[in-house]
Amino acid sequence: MDYHLLTFVTVAEKKNFTRAAEELHITQSAVTLSIKALEKKYEVKFFDRTNKYVRLTRAGEILYYHAKRILKEYEQAEGLIDDITKVVSGPLLIGSSYTFGEYLLPRYISDFMKAHQLIEPKVSINNSSRIIKQVLDGGLDIGIIDGEVKSHPHLHITPFEQDELVIIVSSDHPLASFRTIDLESLYGETWILREEGSGTREVIDKLFDKHTFSPLILRSFGSTQIIKESVEAGIGISIVSKYSILKELYMKTIHSIRLKNEQINRNFSYVIPKTDIQTRSVELFKQYLKSKNALTLEASAYK
């Protein structure tokens, strides 16, 4: 680890030499000497310093951007060496789209941790486009997304599970006795869908385009949970993953309907940086994702 760079990044983020010293558990004079050593090496000032503030110069901004990446590389190298010499342990940064992250990932992680007790999964939930960005930026070790994703020059995108989307209505809706229906018959309904940028919304938009279908009333909500609760309350209808409504189907608060002569399918895929070397914890989690059946894991909770 380059401790001059670590000290520099800490000062840049804390905006204060004293707080940086406290964070690093060293003296303030050691912090000052480290920054001076860097400035002497590059013959440029990295901070504007007064009694009131510490802030990056333009040169400091450039160094900060690259220093963050360099420190991340150090961290990854240390992790890879640990994989070779030690039992697999430590944090595993997982990002997931909402559907998989909220309704399937907890059971995956619970089962995974039984076999790998020293690995510490840390999970963040976002829409698919944001997850991809976080993987590219190095903020995640592995991302799980839904929907169709084009190939990317810097990412491996691997489908591991298929999902089906179904139309949902409240249990007392006039359509609650239907098993199948034509999309055109739902034109006058109020539709409640995920926001643009989500994998679910992308699949639905493509379905609507295919059928040249445009709902009379359409509302966008930011999570599947609030969509389900809105449907239960009779506010409108929606299209969601079959995995997200297992509890509601069991409780009979929501009714699902399929399109006539058509299934709405998509893939769950894992996303990792395109590199020849992955940490052992990522490799183990990839293998686990491909070995498990999501419907079996989730449905077992309602038997």
* Residue 193, phi then psi, degrees to nearest 5: -125, 165
Q: State what percent of residues in the chain have pLDDT above 70.
A: 94
* Residue 161, phi then psi, degrees to nearest 5: -155, 140
| Contact indicator for 232, 170 with CB cutoff of 8 Å | yes
Evaluated on CA atoms 145, 150, 154, 160, the torsion sign reads: positive
Q: How far is CA 29 from the centre of its chain?
A: 41
- What pLDDT is recorded for position 49? 87
- What pLDDT is recorded for position 168? 97
d(CA 2, CA 172): 64
d(CA 62, CA 78): 25
Q: Answer yes or no: pTM beyond 0.75.
A: no
CA angle, corner 178, sides to 177 and 179, nearest 5? 120
- What pLDDT is recorded for position 191? 97
d(CA 6, CA 10): 6
* Residue 189, phi then psi, degrees to nearest 5: -80, 155
d(CA 40, CA 64): 16
d(CA 46, CA 57): 5
Give residues with Cβ within 8 angstroms of 68, minimum separation 6.
Answer: 9
Structure tokens belonging to residue 298: 């989730």
The full set of domains in the chain, from first to last, is: 3-74 (1.10.10.10), 90-161+267-302 (3.40.190.10), 164-265 (3.40.190.10)
pLDDT digits (tens, 9 = 90+) for 71-89: 888 887 877 776 666 678 8
CA 243 to each of CA 72, 81, 250: distance values in angstroms, whole numbers, following the listed order:
35, 38, 12
- What pLDDT is recorded for position 17? 92
d(CA 136, CA 154): 7
| Residues lower than pLDDT 50 in the chain | 302-303
- What pLDDT is recorded for position 86? 65
d(CA 213, CA 69): 46
- What pLDDT is recorded for position 296? 55
| Contact indicator for 43, 37 with CB cutoff of 8 Å | no
pLDDT digits (tens, 9 = 90+) for 169-208: 999 999 999 999 999 999 999 999 998 878 889 899 999 9
